[in-house]
């Protein structure tokens, strides 16, 4: 049975499988390999995942959730259509969708997956990811660090070389930097570092705030919808700047058109802090691996945010190294996860390949005075087991009590608290009673703690999970049955639902007259859907799609609300006059409709 690889991304998710000697991307119902990590619930209890849900971010923001990966392992709750959802439940919907796509593609049931996570994910975040996998119906026995997956995929691209490389993985929500040594069949992750709150989304936010500042809009006063719309236009503007010299960011605010032209310099000015923050993890990764930039042959760029030429230039300028930008950086982690799935399946071509990973952070306990006593140092090869001896610090002390932390700050409480462990000890003068604390960190990045009082052999064992957010078996079962209660839309209905969502999100952005037009088109489509005649629906769908494509195209061409308004005004008037033939019994000619659009609007 096939094992699949999954990159559960902040913005998009991908699924892969090892097939015919290579890792292969699996397309979704739309024939696309990127499935947006967005979940939306409709008023009838139907769940949408991916592209349709992403459209609904604009038309139904209150019932749609995105960027939830950032909150994995926390107690954040999303309230959608009268129900609460945890980040792991939302992730489970995405995973379930990918599972279905994979099953359809492979024509077999898939139950096992290798899922990638950012190296900096702590126990609670990894645990939440595993739970999401379980909720989606997977056995997840391998969580792989994203930079390691990226390294694995890159090794497939440069298989003949024995070199040390730096993988710079800059996605929507996280930055991971790793130093990787590749020789023979071994891919050795030497050190990793990162910032799990730095990504493309920060550029969008920075540009959105810059825009508001220049337009004298108080960002804090904006509604959720208004913020979402401004951030979305900022993201589009940012992406356009990757291929164009200028890009206009246009926002319809309180019925008024607000506009600001960005060029790369202005974008950099708006997001200067983000560029600065990129260097820190690079330095940390070099120090952690005890290497210098001279040891590194090249920097491999991964992740959607590396499509920004300014990011590439910045790195080249500061690091003075060959920068390899792989055509489609956003697929690399997924391909690596697929390669790992192939290794797990012991596929002949790669069964001898070995991936060694490291512990991405220091793990330790607090000691008297509040400082952190490291037990497992960062960048130790995995799996790793280390122990330390700790003693009582006051006379007659009856208990040893440790807090377990992850992180690099010398003051224990400035790190991430993972859990605590208590051990009773016999009363004795200080320093007499001692305990051995052993940390075992496995290849999935899950920490186990064993403590033993030396004089009594009293032991305590702890698998570190965040009790507050870890779901009990009963909770998992409850979540599973409520997931089943939500309707999954059949695949063939997805295209229809997608067009409706697209129309609704165009509607949300459009002015009054165009809204009437879109509504009218939506009603026509709905009319044919209700009649449930597949042939007619197909025709109506083609027409609806062409109409939406043209509207979207025109919105891009004009990109200005007032021109757009007059364009739509003329358009609409003519549409009314001609009374567009709604009778679908007649053959409908796509070319004719296109011409009609051209004549009606380009010249008006
Ligand atoms: P990832 O998490 O790797 O899928 O990356 C997603 C991030 O990449 C998002 O913040 C996108 O806005 C960003 N991104 C995607 N395409 C581009 C592009 N052409 N130019 C700039 N940023 C992009």
Residues with CB under 6 A from ligand 1: 9-12, 171-172, 199-201, 235, 238-239, 242, 303-305, 307-308, 330
Residues above pLDDT 90, as percent of the chain: 44
Identify the bridge partners of residue 39 per DSSP, sorted by sequence position: 49, 65
For atom 14 of ligand 1, the residue with the nearest CA is 304
Neighbours of 512 (CB within 10 A): 11
* Nearest Cα to Cα of residue 438 among 362, 385, 367, 392: 385
Q: The domain 359-485: what is its CATH number? A: 2.60.34.10
- Asked whether the predicted pLDDT for residue 566 surpasses 60, the reply is no
- Asked whether the predicted pLDDT for residue 342 surpasses 60, the reply is yes
Select the more confidently predicted residue: 426 or 508: 426
Contacts with 482 (C-beta within 8 Å, 6 or more apart), sequence order = 83
Testing ligand 1's pocket by substitution, the residue of 198, 207, 238, 304 carrying the most ligand atoms inside 8 A of its CB is 304
Is residue 599 very low, low, confident or very high in pLDDT (cuts 50, 70, 90)?
A: very low
Neighbours of 178 (CB within 10 A): 31
Give the per-residue pLDDT at 346.
Answer: 86
Identify the bridge partners of residue 421 per DSSP, sorted by sequence position: 402
Within the chain, all domains assigned CATH 3.30.420.40 are found at 3-198+274-355
CA distance 447 to 277: 29
How far, in Å, from the CA of 173 to the mean position of ligand 1? Answer: 10
Q: The domain 200-273: what is its CATH number? A: 3.90.640.10
How far, in Å, from the CA of 121 to the mean position of ligand 1? Answer: 21
Q: Which helix (H) or strand (E) holds 205?
A: helix 200-214
SS3 for 309?
helix
Q: What is the pLDDT of residues 236-270, one digit of tens each?
A: 999 999 999 999 999 988 888 899 999 988 999 99
Q: What is the mean pLDDT of residues 382-398?
A: 93
Atom of ligand 1 nearest to the CA of 169: 3
How far, in Å, from the CA of 74 to the mean position of ligand 1? Answer: 25
166 and 183 Cβ atoms separated by less than 8 Å: no
Under CATH, what is the fold of the domain 3-198+274-355? Answer: Nucleotidyltransferase; domain 5 (3.30.420)
Select the more confidently predicted residue: 558 or 214: 214
Is residue 308 very low, low, confident or very high in pLDDT (cuts 50, 70, 90)?
A: very high
Within the chain, all domains assigned CATH 3.90.640.10 are found at 200-273
For residue 380, give the DSSP letter. P
Letter string b/e over residues 318-332, b meaning 16 or more CB atoms within 10 A of that residue's CB: ebebebbbbeebbbb
62 and 224 Cβ atoms separated by less than 8 Å: yes
- Asked whether the predicted pLDDT for residue 528 surpasses 50, the reply is yes
Is residue 503 very low, low, confident or very high in pLDDT (cuts 50, 70, 90)?
A: confident
Provide the token pair at 571: 């358009």
154 and 185 Cβ atoms separated by less than 8 Å: no
Mean pLDDT of the chain: 85
Q: What is the mean pLDDT of residues 327-337?
A: 86
For residue 376, give the DSSP letter. E
Q: Of 78-87, 213-222, 456-465, 555-564, where does mean pLDDT reach its minimum?
A: 555-564
Residues above pLDDT 70, as percent of the chain: 88
How far, in Å, from the CA of 311 to the mean position of ligand 1? Answer: 12
Provide Rg for the chain, Cα atoms. Answer: 27
- Asked whether the predicted pLDDT for residue 579 surpasses 60, the reply is no
CA–centroid distance for 516 within its chain: 36
Atom of ligand 1 nearest to the CA of 243: 19
Give the per-residue pLDDT at 595.
Answer: 55
Most confident of 155-164, 325-334, 481-490: 325-334
Letter string b/e over residues 533-567, b meaning 16 or more CB atoms within 10 A of that residue's CB: eeeebebbbebbbbbbebbeebbeebeebeebbeb
Give the per-residue pLDDT at 573.
Answer: 41
Testing ligand 1's pocket by substitution, the residue of 170, 306, 307 carrying the most ligand atoms inside 8 A of its CB is 307
Provide the token pair at 227: 């913020």
Is residue 343 very low, low, confident or very high in pLDDT (cuts 50, 70, 90)?
A: very high
For atom 16 of ligand 1, the residue with the nearest CA is 304
CA 136 → CA 97, 334, 480, 583, distances in Å? 9, 18, 8, 44
Atom of ligand 1 nearest to the CA of 12: 4
600 and 575 Cβ atoms separated by less than 8 Å: yes
Q: What is the mean pLDDT of residues 95-114?
A: 96
Give the per-residue pLDDT at 54.
Answer: 93
SS3 for 563?
helix
SS3 for 335?
helix
For atom 9 of ligand 1, the residue with the nearest CA is 172
How far, in Å, from the CA of 18 to the mean position of ligand 1? Answer: 25
SS3 for 88?
helix
How far, in Å, from the CA of 305 to the mean position of ligand 1? Answer: 4
How far, in Å, from the CA of 12 to the mean position of ligand 1? Answer: 9
Is residue 347 very low, low, confident or very high in pLDDT (cuts 50, 70, 90)?
A: confident
Give the per-residue pLDDT at 247.
Answer: 96
How far, in Å, from the CA of 511 to the mean position of ligand 1? Answer: 29
Angle between helices 512-531 and 491-509 (to 10 degrees): 160
Give the per-residue pLDDT at 467.
Answer: 57
Select the more confidently predicted residue: 1 or 484: 1
How far, in Å, from the CA of 376 to the mean position of ligand 1? Answer: 35
CA distance 225 to 57: 9
Within the chain, all domains assigned CATH 2.60.34.10 are found at 359-485
- Asked whether the predicted pLDDT for residue 88 surpasses 90, the reply is yes
């Amino acid at each position: 049975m096939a094992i699949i690889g999954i990159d559960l991304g902040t913005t998009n998710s991908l699924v892969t499988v090892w097939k015919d000697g290579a890792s292969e991307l699996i397309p979704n119902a739309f024939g696309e390999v990127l499935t947006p990590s967005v979940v939306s619930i409709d008023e009838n209890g139907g769940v949408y995942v991916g592209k349709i849900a992403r459209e609904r971010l604009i038309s139904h923001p209150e019932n749609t959730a995105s960027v939830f990966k950032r909150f994995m392992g926390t107690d954040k709750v999303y309230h959608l259509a009268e129900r609460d959802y945890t980040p792991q439940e939302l992730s489970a919907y995405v995973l379930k969708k990918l599972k279905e796509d994979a099953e359809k593609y492979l024509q077999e049931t898939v139950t096992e997956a290798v899922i990638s996570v950012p190296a900096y994910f702590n126990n609670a975040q990894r645990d939440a990811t595993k739970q999401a996998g379980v909720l989606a119906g997977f056995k997840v026995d391998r969580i792989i660090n994203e930079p390691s997956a990226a390294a694995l995929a890159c090794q497939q691209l440069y298989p003949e070389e024995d070199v040390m490389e730096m993988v710079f993985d800059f996605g929507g929500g996280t930055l991971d930097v790793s130093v990787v040594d590749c020789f023979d069949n071994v891919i050795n992750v030497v050190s990793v570092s990162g910032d799990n709150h730095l990504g493309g989304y920060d550029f969008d936010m920075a540009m959105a705030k810059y825009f508001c500042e220049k337009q004298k809009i108080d960002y804090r006063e904006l509604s959720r919808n208004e913020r979402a719309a401004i951030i979305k236009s900022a993201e589009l503007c940012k992406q356009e700047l990757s291929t164009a010299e200028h890009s206009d960011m246009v926002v319809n605010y309180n019925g008024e058109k607000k506009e600001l032209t960005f060029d790369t310099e202005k974008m950099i000015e708006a997001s200067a802090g983000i560029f600065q923050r990129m260097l820190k993890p690079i330095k940390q990764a070099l120090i952690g691996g005890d290497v210098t930039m001279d040891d590194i042959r090249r920097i491999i760029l991964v992740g959607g945010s590396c499509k920004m030429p300014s990011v590439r230039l910045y790195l080249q300028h500061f690091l003075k190294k060959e920068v390899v930008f792989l055509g489609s950086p956003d697929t690399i982690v997924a391909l690596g996860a697929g390669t790992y799935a192939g290794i797990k399946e012991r596929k002949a071509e790669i069964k001898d390949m070995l991936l060694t990973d490291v512990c991405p952070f220091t793990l330790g306990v607090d000691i008297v005075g509040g400082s952190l006593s490291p037990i497992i140092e960062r960048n130790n090869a995995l799996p790793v087991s280390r122990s330390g001896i700790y003693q009582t610090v006051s006379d007659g002390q009856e208990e040893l009590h440790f807090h377990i932390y992850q992180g690099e700050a010398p003051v224990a409480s400035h790190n991430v608290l993972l859990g605590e462990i208590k051990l009773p000890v016999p009363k004795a003068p200080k320093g007499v009673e001692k305990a051995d604390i052993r940390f075992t960190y496995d290849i999935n990045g899950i920490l186990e703690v064993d403590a033993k009082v030396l004089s009594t052999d009293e032991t305590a064992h702890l698998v570190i999970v965040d009790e507050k957010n870890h779901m009990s078996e009963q909770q998992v079962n409850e979540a599973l049955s409520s997931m089943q209660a939500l309707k999954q839309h059949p695949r063939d209905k997805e295209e229809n639902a997608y067009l409706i969502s697209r129309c609704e999100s165009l509607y949300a952005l459009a002015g009054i007259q165009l809204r009437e037009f879109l509504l009218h088109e939506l009603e026509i489509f709905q009319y044919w859907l209700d009649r449930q005649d597949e042939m007619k629906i197909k025709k109506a769908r083609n027409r609806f799609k062409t109409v939406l494509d043209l509207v979207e195209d025109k919105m891009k061409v004009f990109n200005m609300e007032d021109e757009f308004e007059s364009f739509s005004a003329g358009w609409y008037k003519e549409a009314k006059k001609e009374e567009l033939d709604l009778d679908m019994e007649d053959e409908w000619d796509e070319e004719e409709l296109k011409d009609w659009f051209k004549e009606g609007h380009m010249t008006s």
